[in-house]
Amino acid sequence: MEPLNLTAEDISKGIERLADAIRAKNPNQPLALVGIRSRGDEVAERVLNRLSTDDRELSFGVLDISLYRDDFEHLHENPALQESDISFTVEGAHIILVDDVLFTGRTIRAALDALSDYGRPAKVELAVLIDRGHREMPIQPDYVGISLDTCRHDHVLVSLEGTDGLDQIRVVQKETP
């Protein structure tokens, strides 16, 4: 079957949709956007850019969730770590976690655990560029850029300019794992 492709324009619209929805729900409140490595940080940065014209206090952070994964036993070697960078005060903050693709929800579970080790936020919401369905955890997004109808074994391949040099999303359809 032909892979489904989304373009830079689709991604840009998705980012715009996220920024609009966040703005509509939280007028002028201070917000902290925390992107999950990798690519969630770039999505968060782009949303932050759209929100930067608002009259509000904005913070930005990056989270690496490798140490909080639940699948160490199944891995041949432990995933390489990168630095997390949360320089604002998490205690009492309104945080929007940002990731590129929401799939099983396990990454978000790990991110919530990681975040709580920095302090106790007043509120945590979830924004994703793509929701592709097939959750394995009771986790739902508050803001969605693009909803994709996928099969469980499909691969959603996201590349972003800052991380991969090109804005593109490909859905490669697979019948079996």
List of residues contacting another protein (CB under 8 A): 64, 66-68, 72, 76-78, 80-85, 113-114, 116-119
Work out how close the CB of 40 gets to another protein at its nearest, in angstroms, rounded to a whole number: 16
Q: What does the angle CA 109 – CA 115 – CA 119 come to, to the nearest 5 degrees?
A: 140
Name the residue nearer to another protein (CB basis): 84 or 150.
Answer: 84
Query: Maximum Cα–Cα distance for the chain, whole Å?
Result: 49
**Lookup result for tokens 């693009």:** 146
Work out how close the CB of 122 gets to another protein at its nearest, in angstroms, rounded to a whole number: 16
Name the residue nearer to another protein (CB basis): 117 or 161.
Answer: 117
Name the residue nearer to another protein (CB basis): 53 or 76.
Answer: 76
Report helix angle 40-51 to 8-25, nearest 10: 60
Work out how close the CB of 23 gets to another protein at its nearest, in angstroms, rounded to a whole number: 31
The Cα 177–Cα 168 span in angstroms is: 23
Work out how close the CB of 39 gets to another protein at its nearest, in angstroms, rounded to a whole number: 18
Before 38, cis peptide (omega within 30)?
A: yes
